[in-house]
Amino acid sequence: MKTVAIYEAKTHLSELLAAVELGEEVTITRRGNPIARLVAVHLPESHASQTIKRRALIARIRANRDAAPVAGFDLQAAIEEGRD
């Protein structure tokens, strides 16, 4: 369970809600005292699992998009080979 102060919760609400969608619980504090808890609404299993899979895929794509290119791989040659 993640704990954040009110100011941080206001500043990063979108990120906190994304984490809650993935199953994390967030406690919001005022002067160190818990005052609220963010939890996901129970969605139909198919919708929830699709959301989790989609967010995981997006995270993997973002993590890999700046990776170094594969050595010895010629993209143009692969494209041309696919056209044959």
Report DSSP letters for 69-80, one per residue: PPTT--HHHHHH
Q: Rounded to an integer, what distance in angstroms lies between the CA atom of residue 60 and that of residue 66?
A: 11
User: ∠ CA 50-67-84 to the nearest 5 degrees?
Assistant: 80
Beta strands in 6-73 (DSSP E): 26-30, 33-38
Q: Where are the domains of the chain?
A: 2-66
CATH architecture entry for 2-66: 3-Layer(aba) Sandwich (3.40)
| Tokens read off for 66 | 């700046």
pLDDT at 14 over 70: yes
Q: What is the pLDDT of residue 44?
A: 63
Q: What is the pLDDT of residues 27-79, one digit of tens each?
A: 999 999 999 999 988 766 677 778 888 888 888 888 887 776 777 778 888 88
- Which 3 state secondary structure label does DSSP give 35? strand
